[in-house]
Amino acid sequence: MLEKNGVVYYILGSHIQCGKVSDIKIEKGELFFLIDTYVQCDEDNWIAEEEIGKSVFFTEVEAQQHYGTGHSLPTCCCG
């Protein structure tokens, strides 16, 4: 379950990273969250709940099992 200060693991390019959920918001009925160690271009990077199970996981084992599937959080703020 996603909760503030909960530990999550995420795939970022060719690495698995770990961080804490630093904030959660609901906007237009959709849940978004921030991870304290995931910052791109010096700005808040809200992550959609739909990334859970694709590029964000609650255990390191889950992240390792999904590593290499082509899913990753964005590694740059291109555009």
CATH number of the domain residue 23 falls in = 2.30.30
- Asked whether residue 72 is domain-assigned, the answer is no
pLDDT digits (tens, 9 = 90+) for 14-40: 899 999 999 999 999 999 999 999 987
- Asked whether residue 12 is domain-assigned, the answer is yes
pLDDT digits (tens, 9 = 90+) for 48-73: 999 999 999 999 999 999 998 888 88
- Asked whether residue 48 is domain-assigned, the answer is yes
* CA 70 – CA 13 distance, rounded (Å): 9
What is the reported pTM?
0.89
- Asked whether residue 2 is domain-assigned, the answer is no
Contact predicate 21/2, CB 8 Å: yes
- Say if residue 79's pLDDT is above 60: no
Q: How many domains does the chain have?
A: 1
Domain encompassing residue 21? 7-66
- Asked whether residue 17 is domain-assigned, the answer is yes
* CA 74 – CA 46 distance, rounded (Å): 11
- Asked whether residue 75 is domain-assigned, the answer is no
- Asked whether residue 79 is domain-assigned, the answer is no
